[in-house]
Amino acid sequence: MIRPEPIRLAHGRKAHDGIFEADSGGSPWLAFDEGDDVVFWQPRTGDLATDCNRAFALGQDVIDNPATYSFDCNLNVFANPLDWLQAKRDGIVILDWSRAWSRLQDCPRIAIADELLFQFRRHFEPPHKPEIFVLTGRKAVAA
């Protein structure tokens, strides 16, 4: 098995829903296998698309890999695929910020690109908080 997975080339365009539509006359995109999805990146425009919109992040397999956090290391979150590739794929590029809390809440350490810090803080909280009620103790009856 070759590690890391080779980068493939595809021609097409990004549809309005973020899904990649193959088209032999379309612009070239780099394609990265993400298990049950494929992430497409158009380097000229910076656009990202997916094959079936299942991927949370580019490089998402490292999130659950214990080696990512061993020896006090962090999960690195990069702003774009070029930074991710230059770092030898050591981390992720988030595609769907609405899933940031649920996918990253159990990570012991995260190192994030400074240009993403505001967006990360905005999305890194529980999407739903339960309504809280206070149970009061029994009150004594005055005699």
Q: What is the spatial distance between Cα 31 and Cα 28, in angstroms, rounded to a whole number?
A: 10
Based on the fold, state whether residues 46 and 77 are members of the same structural domain: no
pLDDT tens, position by position, 60-76: 999 988 889 899 899 99
Per-residue pLDDT band for 40 (boundaries 50, 70, 90) equals very high
Burial 26-49 (b: 16+ CB within 10 A, else e): eeebebbebeebbbbbbeeeeebb
Based on the fold, state whether residues 87 and 40 are members of the same structural domain: no
Domain count, the chain: 2
pLDDT tens, position by position, 85-138: 999 999 999 999 988 898 999 899 999 999 999 999 888 877 777 788 888 876
Domain that holds residue 43: 1-54
Q: What is the spatial distance between Cα 30 and Cα 142, in angstroms, rounded to a whole number?
A: 77
Name the residue with tokens 């158009």: 42
Per-residue pLDDT band for 1 (boundaries 50, 70, 90) equals very low
Residue 100 CA to chain centroid, in angstroms? 7
